[in-house]
Amino acid sequence: MMAVIKQFSQDNLVIVWLGLVTITALSWLLAEGFARQLEDFLPPSSTGTLVLSLAVAKVMVILYYFFNIRTFPLRFRFLSELSVFVIWIMLVSLSAA
């Protein structure tokens, strides 16, 4: 058990995980009414765009740190990033429609 705790304390994956948890909490806050306050300053469709962009940011973090694509060949990395970009454009344009 001590070996596991030691491994956690030495690793930056915990920081990455904390970042992902923070983004999830932000999405949850947006859904629970914080969005209505934001709409005083921003157009209503931009809240959806913001929520989806946060989700896509999480996907990028998962790809980089959990799938570890940052250590993969450049071609493979480019293809993954391009796919995420296409998904982001598709989601944002359709949700705003």
Residue ranges that bind other proteins, judged by CB under 8 A: 1, 3-4, 7-8, 11, 13-14, 16-17, 20-21, 24-25, 27-28, 30-32, 35, 47-48, 51-52, 54-56, 58-59, 62-63, 65-67, 71-73, 76, 83, 87, 90-91, 94-95, 97
Contact between 35 and 43 under an 8 Å Cβ cutoff? The reply is: no
Which of 18, 41 has the CB closer to other proteins? 18
**Alpha carbon of 34 to those of 40, 41, 75: distances in Å?**
11, 12, 40
Tallying the residues shown for the chain, one arrives at: 97
